Amino acid sequence: MKTKKRLIVIVIIAIIAIAGCYFLTQRSKGAYSQFEHITTKNIFTRNVNNPDNTYYVYFYNNDCQECHQIEDLICDFAKENDVYFINTENKDPDNKISKFDWSAFKTENDIEIGQVDKNNNIQIDYKH
């Protein structure tokens, strides 16, 4: 009987450990992994078949707290629009994030797609 109980406890611990590892693996992939990722090398060559060539590029980092706070909003927006993702942690040589001129890019390209209303709810306006 003791052997049976011990075996049950070991199996339960193993199941919990496997489930925990699976959860951590899925979390580290992040919600953005379901979308197409690009590098800075090909940032201006997307959607060439789109007549007005309009698309969004979202820069994020897995350690960015703000990125996690708006994750659901960004994913919803990406499902409805052409959005490409760049993970700034990417160590790929084609991903030249460290040399990218963020100030100039922001000045020329940032579009605000929402605002916080008086009740502190985020209101998104996708039609810019």
Instruction: Convert the pLDDT of each residue in 72-87 to its tens digit.
Output: 999 999 998 889 998 8
pLDDT at 13: 85
Give yes or no for a contact between 62 and 15, defined as CB atoms under 8 angstroms apart: no
pLDDT band at 98 (very low <50, low <70, confident <90, very high): low
- Choose among 80, 37, 42, 76: nearest CA to 58: 37
The pLDDT score that the predictor gives to residue 78 is 92
Res. 102 pLDDT band, cuts 50 70 90 = low
pTM above 0.75, yes or no: no
